[in-house]
Structure 1
């Protein structure tokens, strides 16, 4: 979709970006709040999560695979987006940000793809973490 077509469509990409950012933050809050049901509610039926060498496919598999992260009294990690971008048609978005351990140390960077499944309803379809970069760790790049 061209920039002119986006403008003609009346899409407010900045507003959609804010929706995705808020959805990602609520998704992360489900971990902090130990609320597995809230986590699961933000998964698309067709979600795919990469977990090391394993690939969890479908809402039920992802929910079951992540359930152990919700079992303890304290969250084993946290995350927050530092960048969100929405496609020009307003249907897909990517969020990325840092993952931190309970002491606040950066341990990874997440990359998530969100799909707007109904007006204002974003659900995660892909999620994959990666090791933090030197920039993520605040160190000089060699």
Structure 2
């Protein structure tokens, strides 16, 4: 799922900003930091965007994500492998793999891999926040796939176009 050396994107400086913001968003969950998570979500956001009943609004999304942010019973990790901007300098799309770890003692299928897609919007304050977020249903993962996921995380400095 993660990009390989031959498929890594070239990013503009603005795309790199979004890449780093996505990493910061994931770090808020890794750190179990609800306040930081909240600051990454647009006030008018919609998560689970493709579902019949998306999660709407920052406060509702934060409540719905409370157990994922707490990391119990499932730890969630993700990182971008793509960021793309079109003709608007205030909107960007990001995607990448997501790893779910069931922390329940004796869990039969401990790891699952999925993927995410997010749309970012830069506010009038210049801060990038997630406006839309969705993912694909995770499937059981082998330890080799988990290792590949963990080895695939990159920062964007080596991907930025000159």
With the shorter chain as reference, the TM-score category is 0.7 to 0.9
The reply to whether residue 102 of structure 1 matches residue 98 of structure 2 is: no
1:122 alignment partner, one of 125, 128, 139: 128
Structure 1: which 5+ residue stretches go unaligned?
1-12
Counterpart for residue 88 of structure 1: 87
User: After alignment, is 100-109 or 89-98 more displaced?
Assistant: 100-109
User: After alignment, is 43-52 or 108-117 more displaced?
Assistant: 43-52
User: After alignment, is 54-63 or 66-75 more displaced?
Assistant: 66-75
Higher relative contact order (CA 8 A, sep 6+): 2
Structure richer in helix, relative to its length: 1
Deviations 1:78-137 (A, max 9, x none): 00000000122211100000001238955211000000113641010000001469xxx7
Q: Is the 8 A contact 1:34 1:73 kept in 2?
A: no
Deviations 1:47-74 (A, max 9, x none): 0001865411011110111112123468
Relative distance call for 1:75 and 1:106 in structure 2 (3 A) is closer
Structure richer in strand, relative to its length: 1
Q: Is the 8 A contact 2:85 2:91 kept in 1?
A: yes
Relative distance call for 1:28 and 1:74 in structure 2 (3 A) is farther
1:29 alignment partner, one of 23, 27, 30: 27
Give the TM-score normalised by the residue count of structure 1: 0.75
Quote the RMSD (CA, aligned, Å).
2.7
Structure 2: which 5+ residue stretches go unaligned?
1-10, 103-109, 140-144, 149-162
Within 5 Å, give how 1:35-46 maps onto structure 2: 35-46=33-44
Deviation at 1:76, TM superposition (A): 1.2
Relative distance call for 1:38 and 1:24 in structure 2 (3 A) is same
